[in-house]
Amino acid sequence: MSQRPGTLTGSAPAPSRRRRWPRIVGWSALALVLAGVVLYAFGGMWVRTSEMRAAYQAMVERHEQPALPARFVVPVPGCVCHSNDPVLQAQHARRRLRECSSCH
């Protein structure tokens, strides 16, 4: 029974470096796709400033605007509402990326 150099008796040969790279690239691509799916499902915009958030909260306290329900939204860096209206800022901050196609 001949044995390949560098292997233990009864064990499978270690994969070569050329065989490892497709696995690494494949798992990396899968991780990126999964991250994209999670961000698409749960990602949303940032509220640009704390002043905008405070202005909307003041409107809620004066009963000028309804309180927005809490939602699980992951803020995506760079995703902002370009309006200066605190009402739109607050309402859009509760939207997820998959819901943004109604505006854009």
> Per residue in 37-55, pLDDT tens?
888 888 888 776 778 888 8
Helices within the chain (DSSP H only): 17-42, 50-61, 86-93
Residues of the chain with pLDDT under 50: none
65, 53 Cβ separation under 8 angstroms: no
Residue 39 C-alpha from the chain's centroid: 3
